[in-house]
Structure 1
Amino acid sequence: MTISDKKVMIVDDSKFWRMVLQSVFAKLGVKQIVVAEDGMKGIETALRELPDIIITDYNMPGISGLQMCLYLRSIPAFKNAGIVVLTGSDDVINEFWAEHSGANKFISKLLPKEALESELERFVSNDYSTSKTKEAFYVTNIYDVLEQKMRTEILNREILSLIEYARDELYVIQKFKNFLEFFSRFTGLAFMLLSPVEGRIYNFGLPLGKTVSKERLLRHLEKPIEPSDWSYFGNFGSEFNVDGLETVVVKYQENEIGLIAYEGASDKWSVSKVLNEASESIALLFNTLNSFRELKVASAVDGLTGLFNKKELLRFLEETHNLAKFNRTIYYVAMFDVDNFKKVNDTYGHLVGDEVLKAVAAILKEEIAGKGIAGRYGGEEFCLVITKAANNDEVVEMIERILERVRNTQFPHGKCTVSCGVVSSEGYESPTEVIKAADDLLYISKKTGKDKASYMFLPKNREINQVLRREQT
């Protein structure tokens, strides 16, 4: 767009300065010049005429030049418009408000005429323009601007209020979903949050499978963060595609930290407008959730293996036990120990030993995925808490598969095996008793040949003690 094609608006309560500025822009070849006598009329004229360049005095009766900038910048149509604020000798401008006013440039009226003309010519030559599309322009007068500003403040305040609950991410996501449903109904809605330690997908109605959901959502990002692990929440289907999926990328400081995806919105215009107006608050909310997740993972995960540490493992075990008692269900605990691990460390060094632990941990993590958690209990000892197994046979199959995979893995030093003890929670009053029973069975496996698992799904302490006494005699 050339200078002659641009529309310039001059806002100044001084008739003298309006005439001076009109003369300057006419000399520069600007053919479309509109004027306003104060800030209120400036906003009304801008809404009606949609100028590409706005030159406004700073100090005017009623609404100042800075206030007018703030109003206009709150409207998407004026996002890329060029705004200059002219200052007089008596104007004292706070640097903070000047920086956040939305003005592109401040120019002093005290400059010599030639210098002022030169500054304005350079400015108007830049690529500034106002959008004329309906999507970017949805207010018609100053009262609509004020109402829109109020709406935006309320939307942002509502979203930012969720930050205080950031420790409970599922609760926050559920509340955010409910918030969006005030503006539109959806046939499907999903949220993806990305941090280096973990990616999370919350699905509310999209019929996609877990892996397909991840792949499909990641397509809409240019340079997404690559999490080391993924978690999925909600009900996932088996479809490979959905029609009419709308997505909004969530960015924080230019980093893509999340995505909002939806289909079948009953009011696309409203939900799109809400997500646009509250984009900065949504980004701050998502970033806060990611930060809390990183802190949580850092405090709960073993640094070497990436499995849960003993403290988090025991916390989960206690919660699982209490829930099982309340629901009258059972769970399983499997204790593992790397066979002859001291010999590996003594012969090949601790670095090789660490690689062995990491490889075993990776196998445990893969096998337990979606069925419970894996943790490092201490040293070369690991623990599985299996919460989603259909029956004893399924547990046995999983444990034997783990033993086989470890047995057939090529470690840095060669071959390696693990021993295991497995119990169900049935008949035990406390999680401590369950884990002790599994540890006792692990001891039996170690003493009776290693590279094997010992099972007792309806164990009694006295029965285990009898077996232990026989092994010791």
Structure 2
Amino acid sequence: MKKILIVDDSKFWRLVLENIFKSRGYEVIVTEDATKAIEIALKEYPDVIISDYNMPGISGLQLCLYLRSIPAFSNAGIAVLTGSDDVINQFWAEHSGANKFISKLLTKDELERVLLEFVNGDFRANKNEKSMVVNNIYDVLEQKMRKEILNREVLSLIQFARDEYFVIKELKEFLKNFSSFDSIAFLLISPVAGRVYNFGFNLQREFLKNYLVRILEKPTEPANWNYVGEFGAEIFVKEEITHFILKYGENEVGIIAASNVSDRRNLSKVIYDANESVSLLFNTLNTFTEFKVASTVDGLTGLFNKKELLRFLEETHNLSKYNKKPYYVAMFDLDNFKKINDTYGHLVGDEVLKILGKILKEAVGDKGIAGRYGGEEFTLILTKIEKDEVVDFIEEILQKVRTAEFPHGKCTVSCGVVSSENYQSPTEVLKAADELLYIAKKSGKDRATYMFLPTDKEIKKIMDVIPTEHQAQT
């Protein structure tokens, strides 16, 4: 039988309600004071609480809020009885935590039917849930205050969502207030981008990513992954890991994982109390990343779009002038792309663009960025490459395109490559690369033209990778 707690300052209503439930064999506890009701609830753990709305001191709504803040009563049934003079704000009623509001103006038979139907619902207090040590109403008030402070502190980080690394670093420092740990990692995940922030785990980045993803109940496969932090060489987890899955609504938005946590109970309690705010923070960071990607990335190829290319080019040019170190721009154009579209259709043409985009993205790696300039034109901005490496690098890309499998067969590209060292503006660099691309097109396609002449040694390397039928043209 369920245990029922009745709270009402009216002796008449206490007797009426007590008689309804006791006559059916329920265990009933009665009190006239809401403050006393909280103390009773913390000792007896009733499965159902029936409370009057309007009482001296603490109201029925406040009683609901207090009890719902205690995990043991998260699944208990709470009904609030209202009289003729009670004016209830609908918003606060919906957010009070009460399961049902019942009018005292109902007929005796109808009131009895509604109350018994409610009590027979699937309500139970969880007596095993004692992660919060609560002895009286003052403990409840203190813990509500602590929870509000924690949530306010976490939510204050949302204003810095533009700088995700700063937010994650601040969150790490915030958690260190409640427990020490050897290492901590944060996974943020959405269909657009997954990000792994590592602080201290001596693990390979792919292994750490896969380890965290396996923790998720319904893993999402993002289009791109980014890794921040120092990663090691280990492929085995040797530490004791404590992890927390963060959900926003039904969606898993991230994970916090820490090793060798000194006070696991305290850290768990903090993340539990601030869970809603931390999840909102992670969801906001994911949303901001999605908007950022949408505004900077070409939807078809996943490469940077023209707007982001030009922004990066200008930034790179200014830095190049300051450091007195040149960068290189390579413009690519798919040969005979119009014929591919006309012959095989635009769907095949789109697949061709995707495959070329993937080749360029994999090739550029950390040497710079790859972008789609427009149509079938692509651009590489190379910032971490030496002059004597450029020719080999570009020729390898041309060869990869020649040997790649495309939906309709084979493809080639033409390319123009220029160094920034003799130009005053980024626009001049881009224009020069485009002009060299035009020369490559007019001189036979499937080749690259360079602003600088390669050495004899480099020419030999080029000839070694170019098929025999193309060498005469070269």
TM-score past 0.5 threshold: yes
Aligned partners of 2:71 and 2:129 also within 8 Å:
no
Letter in 2 for 1:320: T
Preserved CA contact (<8 Å) 1:28 1:121 = no
Structure 1 counterpart of 2:399: 404
Instruction: Give the drift of 1:335.
Output: 2.0
The alpha carbon displacement at 1:315 in A equals: 0.8
- Which residue among 136, 153, 159 is the counterpart of 1:158? 153
Aligned to 1:469: none
SS in 2 for 1:295: helix
Partners of 2:453 and 2:263 in 1: how far apart? 56
Are 2:389 and 1:417 equivalent residues in the alignment? no
In 2: Cα distance, 1:458 partner to 1:165 partner: 48
**How far off its partner does 1:369 sit?**
3.4
Matching residue within 286, 293, 296 for 1:297 = 293
Counterpart Cα distance in 2 of 1:178 and 1:457:
51
Q: Which moved more, 1:80-89 or 1:392-401?
A: 392-401
Seen in structure 2, the aligned counterparts of structure 1 residues 103 and 181 have a Cα distance that, compared at 3 Å, is same
SS at match of 1:174: helix
Counterpart residue number, 1:314: 310
Superposition deviation, residue 71 in structure 1: 1.0
CA distance in 2, matches of 1:164, 1:458: 51
> Is 1:218 paired with 2:213?
yes
Q: CA deviation at 1:455?
A: 4.7
Contact 1:334 1:438 in 2 (8 A): yes
- Name the counterpart of 1:183: 178
What is the aligned partner in structure 1 of residue 11 from structure 2? 15
Q: 1:67 to 1:343 in 2, by over 3 A?
A: same
Give 1:101 shift.
Answer: 0.6
* The one of 33, 47, 53 aligned to 1:52: 47
TM-score (norm. length: structure 2): 0.88
Identity across matched positions, percent: 66
Check if 1:97 corresponds to 2:79: no
Structure 1 residue ranges without an equivalent (≥5):
460-473
> What CA distance in whole angstroms lies between the structure 2 residues aligned with 1:149 and 1:216?
35
Displacement of 1:66 in angstroms is 0.5
How far 1:91 sits from its partner (Å)?
Answer: 1.6
Q: Tell me the alpha carbon deviations over residues 391-417 of structure 1, each in whole angstroms, 9 at most, x when there is no partner.
A: 456555543332222111232332111
- Cα displacement (A) at 1:320: 2.8
In the alignment of these two chains, the number of paired residues is 453
Shift of 1:120: 2.7
Residue 141 (structure 1) aligns with: 136
Q: Structure 1 residues 278 and 457 mapped into 2: Cα distance closer, same or farther (>3 Å)?
A: farther
1:423 touches 1:458 (CA, 8 Å); kept in 2? no
Kindly provide the amino acid, as one letter, of the partner of residue 10 in structure 1: I
CA distance 1:209–1:76, shift in 2 (3 Å): same
The answer to whether the 8 Å contact 1:426/1:457 transfers is: no
Q: Deviations over 1:346-373 (max 9, x none)?
A: 4444443333222211211222234432
Of residues 280, 283, 287 in structure 2, which corresponds to 1:284?
280
In structure 2, relative to structure 1, the CA distance for the partners of 1:458 and 1:129 (3 Å cut) is farther
Amino acid aligned to 1:381: E
Find the aligned partners of 1:80 and 1:457 in 2 and give their Cα distance: 74
Q: Work out which of the residue numbers 228, 252, 256 in structure 2 matches 1:256.
A: 252
User: Closer, same or farther in 2 for the Cα pair 1:312/1:54, shift >3 Å?
Assistant: same
C-alpha distance in 1 between matches for 2:318 and 2:143:
50
1:61 corresponds to which residue? Answer: 56
Aligned counterparts of 2:258 and 2:115: Cα–Cα separation in 1: 46
Residue type of the alignment partner of 1:158: E
Q: For residues 90 and 23 of structure 1, what CA distance do their matches in structure 2 show?
A: 25
Q: Which residue of 2 aligns with 1:71?
A: 66
SS at match of 1:260: strand
Deviates more, 1:108-117 or 1:298-307: 108-117
SS of residue in 2 equivalent to 1:24: helix
Q: Does 1:368 align with 2:364?
A: yes
The AA in structure 1 aligned to 2:179 is S
Distance 2:351 2:75 in 1: 55
Whether the aligned pair in 2 keeps the contact of 1:131 and 1:137 (CA below 8 Å) is: no
Q: 1:42 aligns with which of 37, 42, 67?
A: 37
**Cα separation, 1, equivalents of 2:448 and 2:369:** 19
Structure 2 CA distance, aligned partners of 1:234 and 1:431?
32
SS at match of 1:219: helix
Q: Which stretch of the first structure deviates more once superposed, 17-26 or 373-382?
A: 17-26
For residues 400 and 186 of structure 1, the distance between their equivalents in structure 2, rounded to whole angstroms, comes to 49
Q: Deviations over 1:429-467 (max 9, x none)?
A: 4433443443344344434443233456799xxxxxxxx
> Aligned partners of 2:299, 2:417: CA distance in 1, in Å?
26
Q: Report what 1:465 is aligned to.
A: none
Find the aligned partners of 1:244 and 1:410 in 2 and give their Cα distance.
46
The 8 Å contact of residues 368 and 382 in structure 2, kept in 1 or not, is answered as yes
* 8 Å contact kept, 1:333–1:435: yes
Q: Quote how far apart the aligned CAs of 1:130 are.
A: 1.9
Relative to structure 1, is the Cα distance of residues 7 and 333 closer, same or farther in structure 2, using a 3 angstrom cutoff? same
**Structure 2 unaligned regions, length at least 5:** 455-474
Cα distance in structure 1, aligned partners of 2:332 and 2:16 = 86
* C-alpha deviation, 1:70, in angstroms: 0.5
Inter-CA distance 426–212: structure 2 relative to 1 (3 Å threshold): farther
